[in-house]
Structure 1
Amino acid sequence: MSAYDDTGRKDAGDFGGGTLARPSIAEQVANRIMAMIKSGNLKPGDRLPTEQQMTIAFGISRPPLREALKALTLMGVLVSRQGGRYTVTDLSPSRLVAPFNTMLSVADYDVDMQFEARTVVDLELVRLCAERASPELRQRIRKLAVDGRAFEQDPVAFRLLDMEFHQAINDGAGNSLLAALAQVLYDMGLDVRRTASEVPGVIAKSVGQHIVVADALMAGDAPAAIAAYRAHLEHVRDTTISAKQSLGA
């Protein structure tokens, strides 16, 4: 007899008279599937068995199984194909961070919360970049920083350059998952930051800060790069708050 009853709950006898609610069973199944992926038993592109086969294999009913599959789909680990079969995704960082991106995009924009998170993620990326970036990438970061001087009166062009500058630092860190998280955080509140970039003097100060960061990265001086980048984030946060207030947001 299965250890699970028709509702997907664990038989009481297995837990000394206690019971395990359905969500916990779904979590156990999701963890077992994740363990198979981590061990290599399931690889990107592999199709999972049918739901009927999995209920037999796991000894559970369909409701908790579907909860587990839905959770893994929301996490970007599985994708549902036509016909109801699930497939392991490519597990790329951009796909795995997508649910996080969606969550942030629908939340009320909180500048302080955003920049608190950016400080945690971005400063670690800067540290890693100072340690790992190739000489060629350091040169590119420096060039992007200096080239910003030509765009101090052109907010649209500067915003494009700014994105490239920060992406180059993220690339230099050599951690694609952290870089994906950083991009999510960077993209938050762009409408407000567009307004901030049009305030006289804001771009010029950002350009100067970019150059200080780039010079520290060129020297491989992680503490100096972190300190300079922190000052830059504070400048961006403060001007974003000011712009948000001017918009009445």
Structure 2
Amino acid sequence: MACVDAATAVPVSDSPLLAEGEPREAYATHAPAPLPEVCSKDSTSFLIDFDDCLFPTSALASGAGGVLHSLRLGASPAVLPPGLGAALASLDAAAVRALSHSVAAAADGAVVIVTNSALGWVKAATTALLPRLAEYIAAARIPVVSARHAYGARFPTDVGQWKVHAFHDQMRRLYPAWRGANVLALGDGMADLTAATDACASMSHTYVKGVKFLGAPSVAQLDRQLGVFVENLPVLVEYAASFRVCMAAS
């Protein structure tokens, strides 16, 4: 699988982000038919995971002093560990930058946050610890979809189906003709990428592009990954094929 070093922001033209790695045949049976020419930015949509993709949930639940254990809906933790406040402020800016660049690239498409977390978690977590991100999500009217809330009862023992169906719902909403999409799925698990591919499997003339972030990244790692994503965004949008790439640990 192709990887990019998240520790160093490299020029797009020199980036290994789109280097061939995983054989296309490994998932060709799920990939939609490619378009005959480069995808237009006007048809681009982003399906973005939240936990460990925009928000460092794993790090805050453990290595950063268990901050999330003291977080309640609508309330901030009383005390942040030394240095964490500055790191979160930097990440806050990086997350806003990543979303704003995605919104600009989407044009006639859309940016949607799709999470397996409970309804209300995205707003509570960002309001408490990434306030600029919370403000941007609200101001830009970025939809936040809880796949758990929508499909948890229907598939209580099959978490993988939650996002497949949630992604499918969003694609039906955004592309009623069921064709011509240029989809970028961002997530920290391969299941996020597979769900996007499966959800769009029957769409014609569609590219499905997956960017896998590190699982359980530190706050600094997530900050760097978002920077690498923004720098490579033009290539990701314009690349004329379906693909899957991953971030490399720094």
- What TM-score, normalized to structure 1? 0.24
- What TM-score, normalized to structure 2? 0.24
Larger Rg: 1
